[in-house]
Chain A
Amino acid sequence: EAGVAQSPRYKIIEKRQSVAFWCNPISGHATLYWYQQILGQGPKLLIQFQNNGVVDDSQLPKDRFSAERLKGVDSTLKIQPAKLEDSAVYLCASSLEEGPGGAQFFGPGTRLTVL
């Protein structure tokens, strides 16, 4: 079974530029999550989708971050404009809608550096 796919793996941009990340979850997983992981910290949830609807985006900085999952499968996360403090690893995870305890499976992440 293929895992969660993410691209790109690395991205370097200057502050005030825009950037987009892509995620393809495990086939059949209805729930998709985007996390931000700052160096030395655990992942922090940004947004949770169930199929193509947003379940929780309370921790998403909506003035600059946006995410969509239009067809309920793959998803994009965008930052516009980027700030220095956005430098982090952006992780995508997915889980079965009715999976055991909601165990989440993570992709390899996109490492973003904002200069």
Chain B
Amino acid sequence: GQQLNQSPQSMFIQEGEDVSMNCTSSSIFNTWLWYKQDPGEGPVLLIALYKAGELTSNGRLTAQFGITRKDSFLNISASIPSDVGIYFCAGLYGNNRLAFGKGNQVVVIP
């Protein structure tokens, strides 16, 4: 099956700091997606990337689709308390199927 590796598993950051997280795979994906999941809720789509090398921003979030199509990163700038949550990368393959990483837990310290 498709496996995505996310690192680090958890991060503790000071409010106002930037944070970056990475997602890698041995498989090639044509679309990368980043989701955020709050406790007791389903994942919410943050950013979708459709082309190798693409760099996309959504407010304080920036994500890039790696040139090799086997990796992606997500950056959050000037973190705020509501950025707390689990961030998942996902790769789209086959007939619109998603493979998810295990997630990065982000904790923002006020």
Contact = CB atoms under 8 A, between A and B. Distances in A.
A11 to B, nearest CB: 14
Interface in A29-63: 31, 33, 40-45, 48, 55-56
Contacts, number: 64
Contact of B42 (A44, A55, A101, A109): A109
A95 B96 CA distance: 9
A109 B41 contact: yes
B103 A4 contact: no
11 contacts: A31-B96, A41-B102, A45-B97, A48-B97, A100-B48, A103-B33, A104-B33, A104-B45, A106-B35, A108-B40, A109-B40
Interface residues of B, number: 25
B93 to A, nearest CB: 10
A93 B80 CA distance: 28
Contacts of A109: 40-42
Given A48-B95, A106-B43, A101 B88 contact: no
Nearest to A109: B42
Interface in B72-110: 88, 90, 92, 94-98, 100-103
Interface string B1-40: 0001000000000000000000000000011010100001
B48 to A, nearest CB: 5
Interface of A: 4, 31, 33, 40-45, 48, 55-56, 91, 93, 95, 100-109, 111
B102 A106 contact: no
B50 A100 contact: yes
Contacts of B95: 48, 55-56
B67 interface: no
B100 A43 contact: yes
B88 A42 contact: yes
A102 B96 contact: yes
Contact of B48 (A101, A107, A111): A101
A108 to B, nearest CB: 5
A102 B95 CA distance: 9
